[in-house]
Structure 1
Amino acid sequence: GGVEVDVGNQSDPFWQTNKTVTAQISSTADGEDMCPQIVNKDNWLGGETFDDSFKVEVGECPPPTVLSTLCLRDITVTKSKQSAGWNKHVRFFCEGGFEIDVGTSQDFNKTVTAELPGNALCPEAVSIVETVDHLKVELGECHAPPAPPLPTSPRASRRASPPACTRHITVTRTDEDFGWQVNLRFMCAGGVEVDVGNQSDPFWQTNKTVTAQISSTADGEDMCPQIVNKDNWLGGETFDDSFKVEVGECPPPTVLSTLCLRDITVTKSKQSAGWNKHVRFFCEGGFEIDVGTSQDFNKTVTAELPGNALCPEAVSIVETVDHLKVELGECHAPPAPPLPTSPRASRRASPPACTRHITVTRTDEDFGWQVNLRFMCAGGVEVDV
């Protein structure tokens, strides 16, 4: 199967005679052209009969990103509607497969700290499907490394810090059999602030579970206080509420299954038009999904992903505050192996595909074009880029 390259039109600005898009294209055997050098009505898709003519240039595979050393970085998430926070648990992935667990928030913004490479990319924005809320993501610089602590004994100097993990923290009200209005926050081991908030919907529910990145403590000390009340919660409120706190175990690491081809469909909530911003995001395991731009309100691309990988439920475009819902398809059935045409052909490995820039330049006029330009390139899976 070939790769369909969807360039679209070039009408804004109309004086611009070229346009660059990206597509997953592999090198061809024997030095053949990966894409046609000239595209016109004789070989474009769609059957339009304009006399436009285009030169096509295909870029090289970009060098692989080398992620730098890990460091602590602040990730600030800000809701575009700043009237309140959000109740949906928010998490997303950055380049390299690093998971950012933001959780819920009582305020319109929230900052968490995570260990990330200094040059890792994170999405510029994420969305909450249920409420169509747009959350802008800002990534801080690396924190200055702390001074190493002085060892108190030879044994202490050899003790490694226990690794942190995302744990469930369940708080249960013990003084009444209904919820609470206090904005419950307290500190756990390692200087981690746990923001539980209130529990008023439904008000008869006496417990609430949130998540936080908490490491095990040395010598079996409590990771969080077992009882929280006005004596140790944050904020200085003076209610007589009292809460029991239970901290869960680290979840077992996710074992990603075998890779397979899966369709990823991105749908814009405002279905009047497509989007001009190049969209890409990361799924669990560090798999990058390159959606690109779209003339229509939805677009489907195909990528190789584990069968059980998680992707964000929605992404956002910062500039236009557009909300794009993400739907992940099942694994494609594996194709039947092709019949070899010769012993040499049966031994030839398929060249690896990569995301290349494809630049088309109009050659018959010195302005843009209205034709929805699409054409086929060589090799790989069929991808609508």
Structure 2
Amino acid sequence: MTDRNGGTEDDRRSRLLGRDILRLGTTGLRARPTRAVLSALGIAIGIAAMIAVVGISSSSQAKLQAQLSELGTNLLTVQAGKSLFGQDAALPESTVGKVGLIDGVEQVGGAATIDSAFVYRSSFIDRGQSGGLAVTAVTEGLLDVVGGTLAAGDWLNRATSGYPTVVLGSKAAERLGVATVGSVIQVGEQAFTVVGILDPIGLAPELDTSAMIGEAVAAERFGYDGKPTMVYERSTDERVGDVRALLPRTVNPAAPEEVEVSRPSDALAAKHAADQAFTGLLLGLGSVALLVGGIGVANTMVISVLERRREIGLRRALGATRGHIRSQFLTEALLLSAIGGVAGALIGTGVTSVVAAVNDWPTAVPPEVLLAGVGATLVIGAIAGLYPAIRAARTPPTSALSG
């Protein structure tokens, strides 16, 4: 007897065991392995693209967070802004001392660009070829404040800062071709001995292109007036907001609006946020690839139904119900998608690991992304296989066998 949905009582009473459905579902895949592999590959490419994009982004973010945790997010910088009439303002000579008196400030250091001096590898270099390097007068405590480390040599101290000695930032040393401590370079028209070379400084990249000298020798030989162009300070984490609000009024009580305060870690976070926009774009492309893979699965299943009409008719003639046929082809589509999903997850994780290793990042692939990727393939497989499965179930035994 037929019900309203076109089924029979046998459809409702007859049930296949799970292992039987699984065996039937693999029949078509085993019979046509090349087609199955190519269809699964379409799904795998989409999932691999999505997981690799998310994984690479997560690994990059993990590296950034580790870097910020190491360098600290409690570093603030103070520099002069513009006056009310749009002219360049200047920080007072007492800026470093005033900042050090603020409650919550733990370390403070200053730097001043010496505009009248340039850096050259030797006295024979054309004076127009300075390489864009700055001469900077610095306080002795600056290195600790910015979290800098030495690649070679020593930092300026009380003994060396009064003499013609210089510490080179990482890029400054590279451009000058200086790799060893003890080399002599030209600062202005005078010979200075290199006593130290710094590693790159993440939160103060402007120092990477600087040749740093002591304040005393800067005043003696280049007329430094004691006014810093940039002041760096570290405060306790819980007091960063309070210190940030107090700095302008402390540095220049008469014109606090002429003082600019920033946090370098915000710039790094903003850069990462910009990178996330590209991640979203790549995710969109990965989704398109996944959709194309789903269409490939649907195409494969429809062709499979057309090619296997005799098999379907024979099974129906032998007693298979419409529900059995639907289950067989739907399971086949799900298995095809699951294979592609698992393969894509493995490929995506592998790509992420390689990229992370090349860039010296920690490998970070969120487990929920892997689960979501495989889950998405199953959903796509179910949708892609639903129509072919229904079409196969509706194939009349007589027309299938006679065709």
Specify the TM-score bucket, using the shorter chain as the normaliser.
under 0.3
TM-score normalised per structure 2: 0.16
More strand by share: 1
TM-score normalised per structure 1: 0.16
More helix by share: 2
